[in-house]
Structure 1
Amino acid sequence: MTTETIPSTRLHTVRLGVRDLDRSTRFYRDLLGFTEVRDGLLSAGPALVELTEIGPDGTIGDWVNDDLQGGVRHVGLKVSDVDDRIRRLEAAGVTVLSPPADVLGDVRIAFFLDPDGARLEYIQGALNYQVVHSPEHADAEAADLPGPRDAPRFDHVAVTVDDLTATLRFYCEGLGFELIGQIRHHDDPRGFLMTYLRAGAAVLEVFSFDVPTGGNPTPAAEAPLVGFRSVSVAAEDLRTAVVRAVAAGGRLLAERDSSATLLDPDGVLVTIRSPR
């Protein structure tokens, strides 16, 4: 699979619905260390998090804490010391789903929830891939780890997919993401495979399984749901990126002068936008 002739694209933004914009802004800015760009938009280095206020009646909908469910699963943040960061969160009353642990791939991780139940991950270290597709990207990751004084840095957004081949066609052939490597959980009876795609300075982490996965719980139309809503990528050549993405299996929903909204093969809302 080659991406040599595909215009440059990069992961730009992950959008979340929140019940209380001020509360969520304080969480991401003051507790996690994101930089506030403007109301509802925060930066964590390679990508942005956009918070859209849904209101106090917003619910998590049909989202469940099970990676066999399709769609966006979590956002991962790279840190230098997972244990220290988790202690700070626990002191602030944050819900920690799993304590720090060393896991497959030679990284240390922990999961926690934002104020509205969106799942976040801290990661310490560089992944040791079982299969390396791009030594250059793998080496670059290992050489660019955050230091003790650095704030948490956006690392990846994770999605669960039904058909890995269709997903790679859309994101690699359509959007120009590049394969970094893969890790398989050989002792997992579900046949759990993690595939990593370089998306500019950030990563798309793709979960696939040998057993059937559930549908994406996030509707394509706007709905009063909190949690992960959509992702966007910036493309140097918007029109070419849209044409390629549709040819690679994306379903075009709307197109404007500076952006287009599609559904990826698993129903994840993806906005392609001009860089700014």
Structure 2
Amino acid sequence: MVEVAHIGVVVTNADKSLNFYTRVLGCQVEDTYQDERIRLVFIKSGQQTIELIQYKEDPAGARGAGRVDHIAFAVTDLEVELDKLRQHNVTLLFDQPKVVGNKKIMFFAGPDGERLEFVQKI
């Protein structure tokens, strides 16, 4: 069996995205890399790593869009986390959290419109 090493998300402004993921979501910087064509910032969310990818010349990337639909973050208290998002004027994608089986969920938008999700087991 293979294990996920990280999830890569193309962003238009690594600094703006890094600020969002660290200040709003509480992620921590793990590593960085930069050369003349790309800037990479690896951030930790629990045991998982997210790679923020900023292409310096073509932010959309010549390869086109990927197929990742969203990134979900496990939370213990959805309402507390939603209050934090509201304080930072983050766009929520539902009016109210939804119950799906034994979970409460809420989708929201990241700085580049990437779909993110909070999941709370109930």
2:2 corresponds in structure 1 to 9
* Alignment TM-score, normalising by the size of structure 2: 0.80
Note the C-alpha offset of 1:11: 1.2
The one-letter code of the counterpart of 2:26 is: G
1:23 corresponds in structure 2 to 16
1:38 corresponds in structure 2 to 31
1:98 corresponds in structure 2 to 94
Note the C-alpha offset of 1:55: 4.8
Q: Distance in 2 between matches of 1:83 and 1:94?
A: 14
Q: Distance in 2 between matches of 1:76 and 1:86?
A: 14
> What is the number of equivalent residue pairs in this alignment?
112
Structure of larger gyration radius: 1
- Map of 1:179-198 to 2, 5 A cutoff? none
Asked if the contact 1:20–1:55 (Cα under 8 Å) also holds between the matched residues in 2, the reply is no
Note the C-alpha offset of 1:58: 3.1
Per the alignment, do residues 41 and 102 of structure 1 end up closer, same or farther by CA in structure 2, a change over 3 Å counting? same
- Map of 1:234-273 to 2, 5 A cutoff? none
Identity in percent = 29
Asked if the contact 2:31–2:42 (Cα under 8 Å) also holds between the matched residues in 1, the reply is yes
Per the alignment, do residues 56 and 32 of structure 1 end up closer, same or farther by CA in structure 2, a change over 3 Å counting? farther
Q: Distance in 1 between matches of 2:2 and 2:99?
A: 30
* Alignment TM-score, normalising by the size of structure 1: 0.37
Alignment RMSD: 2.4
The one-letter code of the counterpart of 2:17 is: S
CA deviation digits over 1:233-255, x for unaligned, max 9? Answer: xxxxxxxxxxxxxxxxxxxxxxx
Per the alignment, do residues 9 and 57 of structure 1 end up closer, same or farther by CA in structure 2, a change over 3 Å counting? closer
CA deviation digits over 1:152-181, x for unaligned, max 9? Answer: xxxxxxxxxxxxxxxxxxxxxxxxxxxxxx
Q: Distance in 1 between matches of 2:26 and 2:84?
A: 12
- Structure 2 residues not aligned, in runs of 5+: 33-40
**Aligned-partner SS, 1:71:** coil
